[in-house]
Amino acid sequence: MIKAKDIVKELYPLASSTKVPKKPAKLPKFNVFYWHRRYPIHKFLPSKENIHNKAKNGDFEYSPYAKYINYEYWWMAQEIADVRNSSFTFDTKQEKEREIRLSYNRRLKNLRQDFQRDEFDRLENLKTCLRKTFGGTKADVDKFINEYAEGTTDEVINQYFRWLMKEKENTLPF
């Protein structure tokens, strides 16, 4: 008997250690443009909201789409294992497995695109909020994020303020 864990190791070894919940039911409001999403999206706070409140809301945290991609690999592996363990003929099993892989690969492609967009938007949102809240130029924020930022989001926000004060002191003419 073939297990889903073996198939996940075969398809995507990085997802083999993920704990996967049950496959959720379809969302009540189905949008044909976002058919590939199984979970509701994160609600961001308005742009005028305080940066600390945004950080508490999770507006700058790692995108949940990465975890959803791992879940999809597990669910695909479970369906493939069911087909491989069934009593169908060899040709029928291969055809059903191809159909499963095709549909999941479409979903995975769209989830990866959503993940890239979401990660980019979250980082740009953080940079914009840092610049609007504490000041500095876009180049200052980029330099800080790329070279000095470490730790949690709250730590990065506090580090930026201290780093910006040091940068201003270092650029004084006297």
Where exactly are the structural domains of the chain?
Answer: 4-170
Task: Express each pLDDT in 127-159 by its tens digit.
Answer: 999 999 998 899 999 999 999 999 999 999 999
pLDDT at 33: 67
Q: Could you give the CA distance from residue 4 to residue 78 in angstroms, rounded to a whole number?
A: 5
Helix axes 90-134, 153-170, angle to 10 degrees: 40
pTM of the model: 0.80
Residues 15-58 have pLDDT tens digits of 667 777 787 777 666 666 677 778 888 899 998 899 999 999 99
